Amino acid sequence: MSYRPLESEPVYDTAFNKTVEIFYKRFNNPLISKTMVAGIVTGLLSVWETTKKPFDGMYFSAVREAAHNSGKFTNNDFCNLTYERSKMKPFNYENEKDAFQKVKEWKKQGLTVGAKFGHFRRLTISHIFDLAITRALCDRLVLVAESGVRTAKYKTPKIELTDEQRVAMFTGSSLVDIVLITSGDDYSNNYYRKLTKRISPSVLFINSQWSEEMMAEYNLRARTCGAETFLLPSIGDLSTTDMEKFMFR
């Protein structure tokens, strides 16, 4: 399928169609299941509902159109899957001990529990694809996000959303099962090794674009609780910044 806007079409329509085309190609990848597509759609809907920003609304509309065009759904399929996923609310624990106990219960039931760490100052398009793939690789997913204070101190001072807004965005996305916000001043590898051991997941996910040094550190963290590590595939060319170059000329 190809999107070729007429020359008379405004720039917005041209950019929108280009965005739909990018997502359409992604959704036709045989590794992207229709359940993943439904998760990506509800993930972007959650972002739009949280931020109220027009460009997030544009991304959601483009993703929804690309999902319809992908041929992986009938209309009923699409509506049912996205509705079901929008009703899937994760366990959001303020008390970490309760969350860790839930992980133990899931593992006793024979479920594979994955854990993923990150700053996530907001959910970008690439984050959503990444989480959809991650969630499909385990039975339950624990997301550990840095607090805004930690992100401002250790990564970037630009914080777009409060911790409460980010939790609402994560929980509304249906892409994770437990959301934990980690805080405090300890940003050492030892801190994360101890936290990984306390969570005690079955598998710890590693991003393929990380440095070899960071990958080695994650392997050490996994060993603290006997977890396996899984190297997530690169999703490439889904940079929000790059896409906004033509979305908002």
CB contact at 8 A, 67 and 73: yes
What domains are there in the chain, each with its CATH number? 11-86 (no CATH), 96-232 (3.40.50.620)
**pLDDT the model gives residue 232:** 86
Q: Determine the Cα–Cα distance for residues 203 and 115; give it in Å rounded to an integer.
A: 6
Q: Which of 59-63, 73-77, 172-176 has the lowest mean pLDDT?
A: 73-77
Q: Determine the Cα–Cα distance for residues 180 and 107; give it in Å rounded to an integer.
A: 18
Q: What is the mean pLDDT of the chain?
A: 82
CB contact at 8 A, 12 and 51: no
Question: Could you read off the pLDDT of 80-95 as tens digits, one per residue?
Answer: 766 666 566 555 555 7
Mean local confidence (pLDDT), 207-222: 93
Q: Determine the Cα–Cα distance for residues 52 and 56; give it in Å rounded to an integer.
A: 7
Taking Cα atoms as reference points, which of 12, 43, 40, 13 lies closest to residue 26? 40
Distances (CA, A) of 4 to 1, 18, 66, 85: 10, 9, 15, 33
Confidence of residue 239 (pLDDT cuts 50, 70, 90): low
Region of residue 84 (phi > 0: left; psi between -120 and 50: alpha; otherwise: beta): alpha
Tokens of 16: 């929108």
Q: Determine the Cα–Cα distance for residues 57 and 239; give it in Å rounded to an integer.
A: 17
Q: Tokens 């590590």 identify what position?
A: 229
Q: What is the pTM of this model?
A: 0.79
Please spell the DSSP secondary structure of 167-205, one letter per residue: HHHHHHHTS-SEEEEE-SS--SHHHHHHHHHHH--SEEE
Question: Could you read off the pLDDT of 134-178 as tens digits, one per residue?
Answer: 888 899 999 999 998 998 898 888 777 888 888 888 877 778 889
> Which residues sit opposite 205 in a β-bridge?
230
